[in-house]
Structures are given as structure tokens and as C-alpha cells.
């Protein structure tokens, strides 16, 4: 290959820290020309237009003005025709075959079905959105210009899909036979946008006779590491592995190891062993430093370098233990490196419904916002699938754990197909995700998917379980969420219950709960026509943008009746913040009978009225501001009756100190209720909950707000602040018949009692 001669469309990727198996010499393809193809005749239609990688077809069409922006108004309905056609991505590469050298094409993610050719010679056919496609191009290369073509096959709507749209968006009919991103078929958080495209990195790799296909580090906190190498050689022979290991985000003396290998032609697996003295461990941000190591792995044959990759990994050990005092089968207490960790989590959904809008900067912005808000766990929801590697890289560096679900979601009634083809697809996609993510120390848990019926889908769950056990031994796998001890509390919201249902929750892990609120005015003004800024006057459009109107109006009454858009935004966000605050603080007070929570949800994949705390444009809602108080490692909180307090009413509440750190403190607590200020002194043990000996009581002020503050006893540091609006209250309790029906409904869908 003539490095640097791939015209306009590639760059040297050596400085990228995000991609795993990063090569200094890999060349990333960024640009194509795209043309529409008639499905019946195979003829090309119209002219070509630019297509970017990573990206998606809808974003490319919008960028050229061929379709209107799909997020504005109802425009998302006007781009569904793209799947009635096939689309060819075509570009020219300047390549030059050299004796003894090999050339590969690596696609890290193509959505969804494709045919790849080089110089009109067939290279590969592939189905699957999340698995890598690695194909050798060596025998297809011509000296000079080479034409790479990737034809994407449009996934035309099946009759069952159209039926699902009529009955309920996102229903399993029509999508159960594919492993495309489930929410792309339409969900209550995202529009129906069956996108397609080359959504993850695409690169050309040149090697000698041996290519490194995979590197996996299995580490122990003692410093022992087992390194599994997957190599492919075009001949029998001997090879040498040179490995250099050093600190990735900290300074340490490099370690160099050399290993001799005997290779056979084709794929071969090898296990190497090394020891690092006194390793620096990877911790979540609240318990320590997220220390990462980097490894450079070179394979040499006949004294010359054949291939070289870079990879990051970490030393950390995670255990799951029984919750004290409750069901002995429930294992939701997490220990990292021997220390218990209360899981202050949130659900992560795709950054954007369209991959072409996703950037590394957006990943890091959201992950950093989450860390600032006290979050130490992301549940990566199965309806969204996996993210690009930059996201997991950000979680590693910011010290946030990841609960990763496979791309299976809400298939209840029929179940996934039991054909050999679908079972093989399940294995392929599961293996691809595992190999991509297993070196990330942030990865704490694999989950089969979101709200699966575990009996009707036992065949695909078994495939995932076996694949995890084989390729990522030691990491926990659960069949689905919910799972025993793990509840999705939708009694509040979907069943119209009030706050009391959060306060009486008995499961140790609550992995979904939430209340909708409006986004910022910025989002509404950008994506809603001016005449539709009033949700009462444009309900159809607001419902299209995810609003669940009847439920939103019910909970809105807890704060009052808005008279303007700004009031509507403020009041819905106020109610959301109130519910999240009282729920989280109640569960934190009960640690480790309760192990943690993951509220639904942190972000939003499009401009919507939804349960996220950061809107589509990255603007924090009031619930995000609440997290800055209620979700930090040290919490000062009040426990009081759930009712509406008017100025002059008598208020009484208990004060608690919650400490998720493993250091103790002597503290001064100040409570401010109008003109009344009370000061208390106390000490708090590491990783504990302390109820103050004295309560706070007095007349409710105007405005009705209670303020709390915890200060280090020497007065040098404010450990925690908190405040409560006492006039937010939803008095309407759930009908017991509706509650029972909701629980029965969950049993029918998931195949187990919640």
C-alpha cells in the first residue's frame, strides 16, 4: 500500500485514543459518494451525493438538502421511504500490492445488511449492526486506483411492522427477526427512523504475514495478567511477540516482555502471562482514581514487524454479594477492589437516533456531566444497543461503571426466532460486542436485554450466556432486566401512582423509574414550528415528540397549572426533580438493603418531551440540578411526610447523613427553615447512614423551602448541601386494582413476578 495516497478520504489514525486495537498505520475512510439503487432492476437512480463515515444515510440526505431535517416537526415521517431502495457507497483508493504484505478492510459497524466488493470482485456479505467485519483484500488489489463499493440493502417494512405501528409503536411484530437498533422501529423515547449507514469506523489495515485480530487482558489485583492473543498467519512459521506496558493516564516505568510463538497457517489463539509489581488499580471516581494501563503489542516474523496494535486495560476486581437481611438469592451488593459501592446510576440511551450526528465531543460532554452529577453507573439500555468505542473510553477515564445490555428489547408475546440463522446471528452479534468491550475496566455487568420474556426467549438468552462465559469469564451475566431483586418501577407514571410507591419499594435494585418533563425553550424553538409552542394547541405534534399527555398532565398538578410555555417547562421540570429527589434519597437511606438505582434516563436521542435530565441539546433540566445535591457521595437529607405544605403549616422531619465514601467525618449540620436555623454536630462512619439525634421542626416559611448543609467540623469544607420545595405534592394515590393489573401485566411480559 502506498501510505498517504488514499485520495481525500482517509487520514492517519495513530493519534486516536478511542479505538481499540488502534494501529498507527491504519487508514480511516471518511468519505464516499452514495447513489440510490432500484431494488428490482439493480439500476442506479439519480445522481450521487456525499456520504460520511461514521454516519448514516438520513443525515447525509439532510445535509445535502434532499430531505428536510427529520427532527423538525413531523419530518421524521417523511424519510421512511429510504428502505424501499438499496444504496451504494463508492470510493476510490490508491493502493499498491507489495510482495509479502497483506491488506485488510475493517468495518466496526454497518447498519444493517451489506455487500462489499473491491474492483467489482466480491469481498463479503454481512448482516448485523454491532459485529466487526474483517476481510482480507490482498488478492483483490490492483496497482493504482481501486474502487471500494459497499452496497446497503434497504430493510423494507414487513406487513407485521405496519401492523405494529397501528397497534403500538415499537411492538415486537416485524422487528423480532432482526438485530438492528430496536428503538429505530419507533419507541416512546424516539421516532420511527430505520436508519442505515456505516455508523462506526471503517479502516484499511496493512500488515506483514501475521495480523493481530484480538488482544484480551484478564487481570488480577495482585498484578498477574493473562493475555489472550488471536492471530492470523498466511503461513506456518515462528514469530516473536514484543509487549510494552506503561501507565496510560498516570506515569510509571514501562515494562517490556518478549514471547516466542509457533504459528500455523490460519487463525491461532495464544495465552501469554505477565506480572506487574504493585499495580495501580482502576476505581470509580468516587472511591479512587480510574487508573488505566496501555499496552503496545508487536508481532514480528523473520525479524521484521508484521503488525502492531495498542490497547488499554485496567486492574480491578468486582464481586456481587447478597443483600443483607432480605432474599438470600438477590445479589446486588457490588464490591470493587474489596470496597462496597452504592450504585447511584442512570440509564443511558443513544446520544442520537442518527449516527451521523454523534461526535466524540458529545460523548465526553454527557459522560462528564454525569460524573459531576454524582453518577457512578450507566445502564446501557438494550433498546439502543452498543455505542461507539469513544463512549466506553470516556467511561473508563471518568471512572463510571457500565451495565451493558445486548440489543434485545421488549419481545414478549412470540419471542425471537428459533431458526439456525437467527441463533447464529445472535452468537455473531454477542461475540462482536464482547470482544469490543471486554478490555474496558468500566464494564461491570452483561445483561441479555431489556424487558425480555425469559421463557419465550430462553434460546437466545442461552446463546448470550454461553458466549459471555466463553469470551469474558468472570463478568456477571443476567438474563434480562428486570431480574430477581431488580425492579423497573413503572407503577409511578404508567399506572398513575404517586410518590408513595417509590417510598414503599422493596427491591434492592431499581433499574428504571422516571417522570417526564419538557426540554429547554431552546430545543422547542429549534425543532417545533412557532405555532406549535403551546402543548395544549398542538398535542399531536407534542405526542409525536414523545409526550405522554395524560400522564404528564396528572403529575403536573403536583406543582400547579401553567399559563405559559416557560411555566410549563419550569413546572414539569420541578415535578420531575421532586420525584427523583425523594425517591433517590429514600433508597440511599436504606443502603445496603437497597443496593442502588438507575433512573430513566440521563440523555435523549432526539428533541423530545421525555424523562431525561439533560435535553437533546445538552441543556441540564432542574432534575439534573437536583442530582448535584441528592446524588453526591455525601448526602444530608430530610425525611418527612409526603404532603403539600402551605406557609404557616407545622413542619417536622428527621435528618440523615449518608456517606458513600470510605472515610469518616465529624460534621456540623445546619438546617434553615425560614428564619429558623438549627445547628447540630455529629460524626459519620465510613460507608454508612447516620440518623441525627435531633429532628427539624417549625413553621413553614414563605416561600416554603427547607435548606440543609453539612460542613466539616473544622469548618474548612462544605461536604453537602440540599434543599426541598415543600409545596410540591401529588395527593392522588393508585387504585389497588390498577396496581394489581400492572403487576400481572409485568408477569405476562417478562415471564416472572417482579
| pLDDT score for 173 | 82
Domain covering 10-205: architecture: Sandwich (2.60)
Which band of pLDDT confidence, cut at 50, 70 and 90, is reported for residue 163? confident
Q: Are 221 and 256 in contact (CB under 8 A)?
A: no
Minimal CA–CA distance to 746: which of 449, 406, 412? 412
> Across residues 290-305, what is the average pLDDT?
96
The span from the CA of 381 to the CA of 187, in Å, is 13
Q: How far apart are CA 376 and CA 35, in angstroms?
A: 44
412 — pLDDT class (breaks 50, 70, 90): confident
Q: What percent of the chain has pLDDT over 70?
A: 96
Mean pLDDT of 284-289: 98
HSE toward the beta carbon, residue 34, CA cutoff 13 A: 27
| Dist. CA 604–CA 183, nearest whole Å | 12
Integer-rounded Cα Rg, in Å, for the chain is 27
What pLDDT score was predicted for residue 413?
Answer: 85
pLDDT tens-place string over residues 665-681: 999 999 999 999 999 99
User: When comparing pLDDT for 443 and 100, which is higher?
Assistant: 443
Which helix (H) or strand (E) segment is 523 a member of? Answer: helix 521-527
Q: Which position has the grid cell 420525584?
A: 579
Work out the percent of the chain whose per-residue pLDDT is above 90: 86
Cβ–Cβ under 8 Å, residues 449 and 407 = yes
Q: How far apart are CA 487 and CA 746, in angstroms?
A: 10
In 3-state terms, what secondary structure has residue 505? coil
Look over the chain and give the mean of its residue pLDDT values, rounded to a whole number. Answer: 93
> Is 486 a residue whose pLDDT tops 80?
yes
pLDDT for the residue numbered 10: 37
Give the per-residue pLDDT at 169: 64
Cis peptide before 592 (omega within 30 of 0): yes
In this model, does residue 682 exceed pLDDT 80? yes
> Lowest mean pLDDT: which of 21-25, 61-65, 295-299, 340-344?
21-25
Give residues with Cβ within 8 angstroms of 177, minimum separation 6. 416, 417, 422
Instruction: Please answer whether residues 135 and 181 qualify as being in contact, where contact means their C-beta atoms are separated by less than 8 angstroms.
Output: no
DSSP SS3 for 128: coil
Other beta carbons less than 10 A from residue 168's beta carbon? 11
Q: 730 exposed, middle or buried (CB, 10 Å; 0-12, 13-18, 19+)?
A: buried
Largest CA distance in the chain: 89
What are the beta bridge partners of residue 282? 290
State how far the Cα of 169 lies from the Cα of 120, in Å rounded to an integer: 40
Nearest-CA neighbor of 572 among 635, 531, 638, 621?
621
645-725 matches 207-313 in CATH topology: yes
Q: What's the pLDDT score for residue 700?
A: 96
Helices (H), 675-735: none
In Å, what is the CA distance from 582 to each residue of 63, 525, 672?
Answer: 44, 32, 19
Distance CA 315, CA 197 (A): 36
Query: Taken in order 139, 142, 144, 149, is the CA torsion positive or negative?
Result: negative
Residue 474 reports pLDDT greater than 50: yes
Residue-wise DSSP of 567-616: HHHHHHHHHHHHHHHHHHHHHHHTTTTS-EEEES-S--SSS--BS-SB-T
pLDDT of residue 15: 35
Specify whether the CB–CB gap between 51 and 32 falls below 8 A.
yes
pLDDT of residue 137: 96
> Taking a C-beta distance cutoff of 8 angstroms, is the pair 289, 280 a contact?
yes
Q: Is the pLDDT of residue 98 over 90?
A: no
Query: DSSP string spanning 380-400?
Result: E-TTT----HHHHHHHHHHT-
Chain centroid to CA 341 = 20
Name the E strands within 249-406. 255-263, 266-275, 293-301, 304-313, 318-322, 331-336, 339-341, 343-348, 377-380, 401-405
The answer to whether 432 and 132 have CB atoms below 8 angstroms apart is yes
Cβ contacts of 221-224, under 8 Å, gap ≥ 24: 221/279, 221/281, 221/315, 221/316, 221/317, 221/337, 222/279, 223/275, 223/276, 223/277, 223/278, 223/279, 223/315, 224/273, 224/274, 224/275
Q: Which are the contacts of 708, defined by CB distance < 8 A and separation ≥ 6? A: 636, 637, 638, 655, 669, 670, 671, 672, 720, 721, 722, 723
DSSP annotation of 299 reads: E
Q: Edge-to-edge strand order for the sheet containing 202-207?
A: 10-12, 27-29, 202-207, 102-107, 133-136
Phi, then psi, of 499 in degrees rounded to 5: -55, -25
Statement: residue 58 has pLDDT above 50: yes
Q: What is the pLDDT of residue 534?
A: 87
C-alpha to C-alpha distance for 34 and 747, rounded to whole angstroms: 47
Separation CA 694–CA 678 (nearest Å): 10
Contact of 271 with 226, CB cutoff 8 Å:
yes
pLDDT score of 753 more than 60: no
User: Would you give the distance in Å from CA 575 to the centre of its chain?
Assistant: 26
Taking residues 334-343, what's their average pLDDT? Answer: 98
Q: 167 — phi, psi (to 5°)?
A: -75, -55
Q: The domain 207-313 is classified under which CATH number: 3.90.1150.10, 2.60.40.10, 1.10.150.20, 2.60.120.580?
A: 2.60.40.10
pLDDT at 754 (0 to 100): 43
For residue 716, name the pLDDT band (cuts at 50, 70, 90).
confident
The mean pLDDT of 45-64, rounded to a whole number, is 96
Residues whose CB falls within 8 Å of the CB of residue 561, separated by 6 or more in sequence, listed in order: none
Domain regions of the chain by residue span: 10-205, 207-313, 321-630, 645-725
Kindly tell me if the per-residue pLDDT of 14 is higher than 50: no
Alpha-carbon distance of 170 to 429, in angstroms, equals: 21
Instruction: Quickly count: other Cβ atoms within 10 Å of residue 145's Cβ.
Output: 12
Per-residue model confidence (pLDDT) at position 9: 36
pLDDT at 670: 95
Average pLDDT, integer, range 682-708:
94
Mean pLDDT of 3-21: 42
Q: Judge whether residue 290 has pLDDT over 60.
A: yes
Residue in 577, 560, 21, 436 with CA at minimum distance from that of residue 446:
436
* Count of beta carbons in the 10 Å neighbourhood of residue 137: 24
Answer whether 78's CB lies under 8 Å from 70's CB: yes
pLDDT on residue 260: 97
**pLDDT at residue 19, as a whole number:** 59
For residue 322, CA distances in Å to 308, 483, 508, 586 come to 44, 14, 10, 20
Q: Tell whether the torsion through CA atoms of 715, 721, 726 and 732 is positive or negative.
A: negative
| CATH architecture of the domain formed by 321-630 | Alpha-Beta Barrel (3.20)
Interval 186-216: pLDDT, tens: 999 999 999 999 999 999 999 999 999 999 9
What class does CATH assign to 645-725? mainly beta
pLDDT of amino acid 5: 31
Peptide bond between residue 288 and the one before it cis (omega within 30 degrees of 0)? no
pLDDT tens digits, one per residue of 511-569: 999 999 999 999 999 999 999 998 888 999 999 999 999 999 999 999 999 999 999 99
Task: Give residue 555's region: left, alpha or beta (phi > 0; psi -120 to 50).
Answer: alpha
pLDDT of residue 379: 98
Amino acid at each position: 500500500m502506498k501510505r498517504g495516497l488514499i485520495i481525500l478520504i482517509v487520514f492517519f489514525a495513530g493519534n486516536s485514543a478511542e479505538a481499540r486495537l488502534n494501529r498507527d498505520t491504519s487508514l480511516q475512510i471518511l468519505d464516499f459518494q452514495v447513489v440510490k439503487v432500484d431494488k428490482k432492476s439493480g439500476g442506479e437512480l439519480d445522481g450521487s451525493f456525499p456520504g460520511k463515515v461514521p454516519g448514516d444515510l438520513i443525515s447525509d440526505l439532510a445535509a445535502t438538502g434532499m430531505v428536510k431535517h427529520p427532527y423538525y416537526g413531523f419530518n421524521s415521517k417523511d424519510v421512511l421511504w429510504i428502505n424501499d431502495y438499496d444504496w451504494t457507497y463508492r470510493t476510490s483508493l490508491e493502493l499498491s500490492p507489495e510482495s509479502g504484505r497483506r491488506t485488510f478492510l475493517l468495518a466496526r459497524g454497518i447498519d444493517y445488511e451489506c455487500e462489499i466488493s473491491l474492483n467489482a470482485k466480491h469481498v463479503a456479505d454481512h448482516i448485523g449492526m454491532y459485529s466487526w467485519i474483517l476481510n482480507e483484500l490482498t488478492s483483490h488489489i490492483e496497482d493504482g486506483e481501486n474502487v471500494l463499493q459497499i452496497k446497503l440493502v434497504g430493510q423494507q417494512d414487513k406487513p407485521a411492522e405496519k401492523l405494529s405501528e397501528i397497534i403500538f409503536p415499537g411492538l415486537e411484530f416485524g422487528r423480532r427477526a432482526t438485530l438492528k437498533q430496536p428503538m429505530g422501529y419507533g419507541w416512546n423515547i424516539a421516532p420511527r427512523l430505520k436508519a442505515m449507514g456505516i455508523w462506526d469506523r471503517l479502516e484499511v489495515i496493512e500488515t506483514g504475514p501475521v495480523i493481530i485480530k484480538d488482544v484480551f487482558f484478564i487481570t488480577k489485583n495482585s498484578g498477574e495478567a493473562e493475555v489472550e492473543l488471536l492471530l492470523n498467519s498466511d503461513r506456518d512459521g515462528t514469530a516473536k511477540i514484543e509487549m510494552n506496558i506503561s501507565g496510560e493516564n498516570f506515569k510509571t516505568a514501562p515494562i517490556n516482555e518478549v514471547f516466542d510463538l509457533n504459528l500455523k497457517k490460519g487463525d491461532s489463539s495464544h495465552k501469554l502471562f505477565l506480572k506487574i509489581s504493585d499495580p495501580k488499580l482502576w476505581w470509580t471516581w468516587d472511591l479512587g482514581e480510574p487508573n488505566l494501563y496501555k499496552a503496545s503489542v508487536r508481532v514480528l516474523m523473520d525479524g521484521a514487524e508484521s503488525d502492531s496494535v495498542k490497547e488499554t486495560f485496567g486492574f480491578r476486581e468486582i464481586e456481587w454479594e447478597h443483600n443483607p437481611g432480605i432474599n438470600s438469592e438477590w445479589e446486588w451488593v457490588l464490591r470493587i477492589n474489596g470496597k462496597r459501592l452504592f450504585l447511584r446510576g442512570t440509564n443511558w440511551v443513544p446520544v442520537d437516533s442518527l449516527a451521523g450526528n454523534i461526535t466524540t465531543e458529545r460523548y465526553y460532554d454527557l459522560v462528564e456531566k454525569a460524573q459531576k452529577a454524582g453518577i457512578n453507573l450507566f445502564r446501557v439500555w438494550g433498546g439502543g444497543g452498543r455505542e461507539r468505542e469513544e463512549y466506553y473510553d470516556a467511561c473508563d477515564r471518568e471512572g463510571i461503571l457500565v451495565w451493558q445490555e445486548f440489543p434485545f428489547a421488549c419481545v414478549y408475546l412470540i419471542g425471537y426466532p428459533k431458526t439456525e440463522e437467527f441463533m447464529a446471528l445472535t452468537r455473531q452479534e454477542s461475540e462482536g460486542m464482547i470482544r469490543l468491550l471486554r478490555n474496558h475496566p468500566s464494564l461491570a455487568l452483561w445483561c441479555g436485554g431489556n424487558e425480555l420474556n425469559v421463557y419465550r426467549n430462553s434460546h437466545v438468552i442461552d446463546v448470550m450466556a454461553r458466549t459471555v462465559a466463553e469470551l469474558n469469564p468472570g463478568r456477571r451475566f443476567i438474563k434480562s432486566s428486570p431480574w430477581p431483586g431488580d425492579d423497573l418501577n413503572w407503577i409511578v407514571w404508567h399506572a398513575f401512582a404517586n410518590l408513595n410507591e417509590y417510598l414503599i419499594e422493596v427491591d434492592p435494585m431499581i433499574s428504571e423509574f422516571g417522570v417526564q418533563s419538557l426540554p429547554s425553550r431552546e430545543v422547542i424553538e429549534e425543532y417545533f414550528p412557532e405555532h406549535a409552542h403551546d402543548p395544549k394547541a398542538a398535542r399531536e405534534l407534542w405526542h409525536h415528540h414523545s409526550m405522554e399527555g395524560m400522564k404528564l398532565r396528572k403529575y403536573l398538578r403536583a406543582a400547579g397549572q401553567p399559563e405559559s410555555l416557560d411555566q410549563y417547562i419550569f413546572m414539569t421540570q420541578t415535578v420531575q426533580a421532586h420525584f427523583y429527589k425523594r425517591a433517590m434519597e429514600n433508597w440511599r437511606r436504606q443502603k445496603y438493603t437497597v443496593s442502588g438505582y438507575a433512573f430513566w434516563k440521563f440523555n435523549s436521542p432526539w428533541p423530545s418531551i421525555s424523562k431525561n435530565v439533560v435535553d437533546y441539546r445538552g441543556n441540564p433540566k432542574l432534575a439534573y440540578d437536583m442530582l448535584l445535591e441528592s446524588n453526591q457521595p455525601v448526602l444530608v437529607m430530610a425525611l418527612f411526610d409526603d404532603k403539600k405544605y402551605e406557609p404557616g403549616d407545622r413542619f417536622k422531619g428527621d435528618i440523615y447523613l449518608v456517606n458513600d465514601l470510605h472515610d469518616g467525618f465529624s460534621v456540623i449540620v445546619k438546617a434553615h427553615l425560614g428564619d429558623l436555623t438549627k445547628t447540630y454536630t455529629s460524626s459519620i462512619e465510613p460507608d454508612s447512614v447516620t440518623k441525627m439525634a435531633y429532628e427539624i421542626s417549625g413553621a413553614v416559611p414563605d416561600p416554603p423551602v427547607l435548606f440543609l448543609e453539612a460542613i466539616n467540623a473544622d469548618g474548612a469544607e462544605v461536604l453537602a448541601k440540599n434543599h426541598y420545595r415543600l409545596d410540591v405534592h401529588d395527593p392522588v394515590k393508585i387504585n389497588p386494582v390498577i396496581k394489581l393489573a400492572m403487576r400481572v401485566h409485568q408477569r405476562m411480559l417478562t415471564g416472572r413476578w417482579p
